[in-house]
Structure 1
Amino acid sequence: MTPNRRTFMKRAGSVAALAAVGATGASAESGWTTRESPTGSTLYDVEETTAGVYAVGAGGVVLERTPKGYVKVLDGGPTGNGNSLYGADVTDDGKRLWFVGSSGAIGEYDVETGTLQSHSAPMDVTNNFNDVSVTGRAGEANVYVAGDSGKLYYSFENGESQTWEYTTPASGSAINAVDFHDATSGHIVDGNQTVLYTRDGATWDKLGIENANHNFYGVDSDGFDDVWVSGGGGTIFHWNGSEWIRSDTGDAGQRDIEVAGRDEGYVVGGGGKVYDREDEKWTADATPTGQNLKAVVLLGGESAVAVGAGGTIVER
């Protein structure tokens, strides 16, 4: 597997840094702690880079976790117009944070120099973008953007102007999430309860899921025989290469999922719900928030960061 954002989960510095950020509330049962947030706006995604954890959200806010707490490094999005940011990802070397959002917003943020480059409105498209996945090193990335109009936009040349192309992988329903496990191989989920895969980054085929009966919100692509999907009604699906295995965690919609191996992973969703994967089963964790959670990132071992409505940040 080509190295990706999970490369950085095992860094001791990131895990140790959790203890350095001021806490405002905690759940003694599970170890989840609420952190002070410099925004009251919804945070839609969270990622880990070589410079630490970053979160993105409404109004184009980008937060960085520092030893003194979370601080704003960007407010207004890549164009400064206040476009909300709904998805983020990092290059394989962890040096660039990419984010996408409303009105065609696409940004590439260098976490080492603090410089920002806008790739917004590719092909003059100003529709909403829901998610992004990037593969490759800083400055040399393949970029895949999930469109709310059902189109998947992609550039094999780091998002440079005139290098963008697009395809409509399925029925035209909104693509809710995208994730790649190597340079040109990955998965998407759309608003028509469909999971699709690609091997070349451009052409897509259906993988499932029949009779799911719930919308799909999150996807974690770890290989062609290892795909996780989270959805409405507390549903979690796992593709093991031969069949979809379904788990039910309750009524809350599960907005995001990230898994590493058989027994390391989290899924997060409505009402502050968090489920922890242990002994190949999903177990509910108590959290100190009732806010809807939108995204989670693993940092190694049991450490993780989740973000959501009202600027909520919880860490374990």
Structure 2
Amino acid sequence: MTRLTRRSALQFAGASLAAATVPATATADESDDWTVVETPVDSTLHDVADTATTPHAVASGGLVIERTEAGWEVVLQGGPTGNGNDLYGVDTTDDGERLWIVGASGAIGEYDVTTGDLIDRSAPNDFTANFNDVAVTGPAGDADVYVADDSGSIHYSFDNGREGTWDYEAPGSGAGFNAIEFYEDRSGHVIDTNGKVFATDDGVTWNAIGIEDAGVTYYGLDSDAADDVRVSGGNASVFTYDGSQWGLESLGDADLFDVETDGDNGYTVGSGGVIFELDGGEWCQQQTPTGENLFAVARGPVDIAVGSGGEVLER
């Protein structure tokens, strides 16, 4: 089958990037097929994460669902505040015991997946912007928490999100942030809607590292190291950063809403049920039994993609 390799992508010096296209890939073998599983919700699932117990996903209407032996079940309704604010982002502590959830109107929650207890951390410093994504480092109960909003601010707490411990930075031009991810304590990346990627190594100071002239909206982010970053976006674009320059692979014409990799393996997912797998550094398109938009993917003992209409795909 035709495959794309990172080595075959065009490389560009510094933070500049010109238009480039790589032919779309063929589909994978049928043995690699994803399957649709039933869920108890029909609202959009925006994000998913594996935890110390089981995978969890968050949805519009403040819903959190959990994968159990009996299938997916609703474990939280109404979100952290109980007001039913849409939930957009999730992340876990390093031990997987706490699931941090964020969403509309300043919603932030700390959910203990081992006990089912929920702590409402919403509206830090009375901010009630829409929170699009969250990144967490450290253990349960003693975590650093970073929340990206749609007004150009990154809110952070180095004391587990407790009241009075929050501060914020606005590193860009005021454009909203779609995704944030950290690869170690106080080191990570964030992407905005104005074509910028920012990096930090202290959790406070952010520096732009590109991507110039990309020409597409950025949606997904995978931050594995200072020199190992991937960004997914419009026109099926996947950008890769090696610490000094960006490379581009164009996989087709879909919007790619999330990317999750580990070295040369992983996935990116997007509009129309599209899933591409990165296998040994080579991208190939997977067969999927859905046409629904897929907004997030998580890797684990069972790989999971989630999206519109409560859609969950498992592999």
- Number of the residue aligned with 2:273: 272
* 1-structure distance, mates of 2:279, 2:165: 43
* 2-structure distance, mates of 1:178, 1:241: 18
Seen in structure 2, the aligned counterparts of structure 1 residues 292 and 146 have a Cα distance that, compared at 3 Å, is same
For residue 45 of structure 1, give the secondary structure of its aligned residue in structure 2.
Answer: strand
Q: 1:160 aligns with which of 152, 159, 162?
A: 162
- Number of the residue aligned with 2:296: 295
- Number of the residue aligned with 1:4: none
Which aligned pairs between 1:212-227 and structure 2 lie closer than 5 A?
Answer: 212-227=214-229
- Number of the residue aligned with 1:34: 36
Deviation string, structure 1 residues 265-296 (Cα, Å, up to 9, x no partner): 00000000000002312110010110000000
1:28: Cα distance to partner? 3.8
Deviation string, structure 1 residues 30-84 (Cα, Å, up to 9, x no partner): 3201010100000000000011100001001000000010000011101110000
Which aligned pairs between 1:101-140 and structure 2 lie closer than 5 A?
Answer: 101-140=103-142
Q: Which residue type is aligned with residue 304 of structure 2?
A: V
For residue 123 of structure 1, give the secondary structure of its aligned residue in structure 2.
Answer: helix
1:29: Cα distance to partner? 4.7
Q: 1:183 aligns with which of 176, 182, 185?
A: 185
TM-score normalised by L of structure 2: 0.90
> Does the 8 Å CA contact 1:90/1:97 hold for their aligned counterparts?
yes
* 1-structure distance, mates of 2:183, 2:110: 20
For residue 204 of structure 2, give the secondary structure of its aligned residue in structure 1.
Answer: coil
1:210: Cα distance to partner? 1.1
* Structure 1 gap ranges (5+): 1-26
* 2-structure distance, mates of 1:293, 1:153: 27
* 2-structure distance, mates of 1:167, 1:311: 34
> Does the 8 Å CA contact 1:219/1:257 hold for their aligned counterparts?
yes
> Does the 8 Å CA contact 1:30/1:287 hold for their aligned counterparts?
no
For residue 310 of structure 1, give the secondary structure of its aligned residue in structure 2.
Answer: helix
Q: Which residue type is aligned with residue 38 of structure 1?
A: P
- Number of the residue aligned with 1:6: none
> Does the 8 Å CA contact 1:37/1:313 hold for their aligned counterparts?
yes
- Number of the residue aligned with 1:13: none
1:250 maps to 2:252: yes
Which aligned pairs between 1:12-91 and structure 2 lie closer than 5 A?
Answer: 28-91=30-93
* 2-structure distance, mates of 1:241, 1:128: 31
> Does the 8 Å CA contact 1:105/1:129 hold for their aligned counterparts?
yes
* 2-structure distance, mates of 1:124, 1:280: 44
Q: Give the count of matched residue pairs.
A: 287
- Number of the residue aligned with 1:211: 213
- Number of the residue aligned with 2:10: none
* Structure 2 gap ranges (5+): 1-28
For residue 95 of structure 2, give the secondary structure of its aligned residue in structure 1.
Answer: coil
Q: Which residue type is aligned with residue 162 of structure 1?
A: G
1:311: Cα distance to partner? 0.2
- Number of the residue aligned with 1:314: 313
Of all paired residues, the percent bearing the same amino acid is 52
TM-score normalised by L of structure 1: 0.89
Relative contact order (C-alpha < 8 Å, sep 6+): which is higher? Answer: 2
Deviation string, structure 1 residues 236-255 (Cα, Å, up to 9, x no partner): 00101221110101111000
Q: Kindly report structure 1 stretches of 4+ aligned residues shifted beyond 2 Å.
A: 27-31
* 2-structure distance, mates of 1:179, 1:74: 24
* 2-structure distance, mates of 1:168, 1:250: 33
| CA RMSD after TM alignment | 1.0
Deviation string, structure 1 residues 160-208 (Cα, Å, up to 9, x no partner): 0000000101111001100000110000000101000001000100011
* 2-structure distance, mates of 1:178, 1:169: 13
* 2-structure distance, mates of 1:304, 1:257: 13
